[in-house]
Amino acid sequence: MRRLAAVALVLALGGCGTAVPESRVVPSPSAEPVRATVLGCGEQRITYTVPAGLKRGDAITRIPGLPGRYEAKGVAFGSADDTLWIGVVCGVNSAQRFVTLVGSARLTTYEGLPALRWNTRGSVRHFMWLERPGLAVYVAATPDLADQIATVAATIASE
């Protein structure tokens, strides 16, 4: 009997003009990948696709391990504590110069082009390749997004 009375009381008070709070809509990152453009070096540009669920963050002008005399331009994308960086390095005019840029890097290739891989504190993984003289492409990620490096690299195209 008490339950029935409690239910009746709730139903009666529910109709007395008390407003039911509306749910708040919180914007979330795009569920779809986003195509973006980064101004490269001079007239050279790259396009890339940002993985779904990552928000645009700060611009980058420095790459860990890279000598300061090279200009870097890029953007960070993130979700919680995870970050993915995409950018370009200007002024690397030859493959011979490129392969010596980062002392701790391992030399490899990417689609037949010279490439470098290295890790820094926090297990951040870095990957960079010489797209053409004067334009190197850079992608890096924290450990939880490291598997996105290859995915993002595959979407990058120079214009």
Give per-residue pLDDT as tens, 121-139: 889 999 999 999 999 999 9
Domains annotated on the chain, with CATH = 25-158 (3.40.1000)
Cβ within 8 Å of residue 26, ≥6 positions away: none
On the question of pLDDT at 18 being above 70, the answer is no
Residue 97's H or E segment, with its range, is helix 95-98
Least confident of 17-26, 87-96, 100-109, 145-154: 17-26
Give per-residue pLDDT as tens, 22-62: 433 334 455 667 677 777 898 899 999 998 899 999 999 99
Taking the C-alpha atoms of residue 13 and residue 21, their distance in angstroms, rounded to an integer, is 15
Predicted pLDDT at 80: 83
Predicted pLDDT at 101: 92
Give per-residue pLDDT as tens, 80-101: 889 999 999 999 999 999 999 9
Cβ within 8 Å of residue 159, ≥6 positions away: 44, 45, 46, 47
